[in-house]
Amino acid sequence: APMVTDLIGGRVQAGIDALPNSLPHIRSGALRALAVTGPARSAAVSDVPTVGETLKGYEVSGWTGIAVPAATPPAIIAALNREINAGLADPRIAARLAEVGGQPILVTPQEFGTMWRRDTEKWAKVVRFAAGK
């Protein structure tokens, strides 16, 4: 990522990035992690505090989801969800995700929809505030 390159090169003094992008550079000593933005400390950098430990209530976390076309039959959605969750529950996959700073979140399609709506509402408020509306 260009921001990480600029941090390492000294062109910028600080930045916020997804942990999987920065973790190799943190581990090599090229970058120093000051805080993580999620609700809990990351197992990948357990000695690094959360921003929320200083600024109560602060939480910014990202996730990656899988979507299909709206017309996808429910049986196909259920099968995909079952197989994806089975893969994410595999200890080898969970361990690999943890190595790179990731954390599997096993959810149903309904729970994913709730996450999507919650985060959309949250960030819409931030955008409106930033725009002065």
pLDDT of residue 7: 95
Q: Are residues 83 and 39 in the same domain?
A: no
Residue 1 reports pLDDT greater than 80: no
Domain count, the chain: 2
pLDDT of residue 103: 86
Residue 133 reports pLDDT greater than 80: no
- Using pLDDT thresholds of 50, 70 and 90, give the confidence band for residue 132: confident
pLDDT of residue 90: 96
Whether 90 is in a domain gets the answer yes
Q: Are residues 8 and 47 in the same domain?
A: yes
- Using pLDDT thresholds of 50, 70 and 90, give the confidence band for residue 98: confident
User: Distance between CA atoms of 78 and 26, rounded to whole angstroms?
Assistant: 39
Residue 100 reports pLDDT greater than 90: no
Whether 62 is in a domain gets the answer no
Q: Are residues 45 and 86 in the same domain?
A: no
Q: Are residues 78 and 126 in the same domain?
A: yes
The boundaries of the domain holding residue 14 are 2-53
Give the predicted TM-score (pTM) of the model. Answer: 0.74
Whether 69 is in a domain gets the answer no
Residue 130 main-chain phi, psi, to 5 deg: -65, -30
Whether 20 is in a domain gets the answer yes
100 contacts: CB under 8 Å, gap ≥ 6: 19, 20, 23, 44
> Which CATH number is 10's domain given?
3.40.190.10
pLDDT of residue 53: 96
Whether 81 is in a domain gets the answer yes
Q: What is the pLDDT of residues 59-91, one digit of tens each?
A: 898 888 999 999 999 999 999 999 999 999 999
Averaged pLDDT, 100-110: 91
Whether 35 is in a domain gets the answer yes
